[in-house]
Amino acid sequence: MIIAIDGPAASGKSTTARAIADHLGYIYLDTGAMYRTLALAALRYAEEGWDEPVAQVLKETEVDVAYAGDGEMRIFLDGEDVSEAIRQPEVGTMASRISARADIRDKMVALQREIGHAAEPGVVVDGRDIGTVVFPDAPVKVFLTADLEERARRRQQELQQKGQDASLPAVRREVEARDRADRERSVAPLRQADDAVVVDTTHLSVEEQVQAIVDLARNASNAA
Ligand code: CDP
């Protein structure tokens, strides 16, 4: 069973997806981490003075995903575990830029489908184009959203927990700019699939949003 979760930045996708996966004994596939890994490679190439970092990334970078004993997804860049390194804000911004390219997306979508189709008994996948492009036949599709103000507050809290201070207006601008770029790009833009269920998390607790999606998954598997 594939559960596809799409939505804008800081809508709670990764927290929710991870909790649903735990609940159902599925794996969690964070596709943003894949684009972040290529973005980290591009940033490193740029530092080394490459003229065309993206071309180098496509040709020479290998991205691998593995699951630790506790089920936690780890991600590797040419064999190096970069699961923490990719969380820097500048990597997120570069991920948004690099993920607008069709050649980059083709490389990552192929890997996502390979992992998703092999997953037993199931996988929770989050991203921007999961229900529209990567797994259009997923039996459960959710579009997770929340007010901009609430999403900015959550992102600020997340940054604070990592010891990075940023003002709320600055975080709000960053979140808004990222959403605009993701929605307006021509290749696989962020949008709600026609058959997705919208879950607005502005006033929901994590437990409530997890339960809502677990219920959708149970109904879908009963119907199958
Ligand atoms: O910062 P946040 O956790 O919201 O983003 P992320 O899920 O780590 O993804 C970082 C960036 O990768 C997004 O802003 C998108 O531009 C891109 N992305 C994408 O294009 N398609 C996906 N399936 C996942 C992420």
Domain ranges of the chain: 2-215
pLDDT of res. 48: 81
89 pLDDT higher than 90: no
Single-letter code of the amino acid located at 5: I
pTM: 0.93
Q: Which residue's CA is the nearest one to ligand 1's atom 10?
A: 32
- Name the residue with the closest Cα to ligand 1, atom 8: 32
Quote the CA–CA distance of 197 and 36 in Å, as a whole number: 27
Which of 15, 63, 128, when mutated, tests ligand 1's pocket best, judged by the most ligand atoms within 8 Å of its CB?
128
Q: Which DSSP symbol is given to 123? A: E
Give the separation between CA 10 and CA 125, rounded to whole angstroms: 16
What is the predicted pLDDT for the residue at 125? Answer: 98
pLDDT tens readout for residues 177-224: 999 999 999 999 999 999 999 999 999 999 999 999 999 999 998 887
Rounded distance, CA 30 to CA 112, Å? 9
Which structure tokens are listed for 182?
């993701």
Across the chain, mean pLDDT equals: 93
Which architecture does CATH list for 2-215?
3-Layer(aba) Sandwich (3.40)
Distance 5 CA to ligand 1 centre (A): 12
Which residue, judged by its Cα, is nearest atom 6 of ligand 1? 32
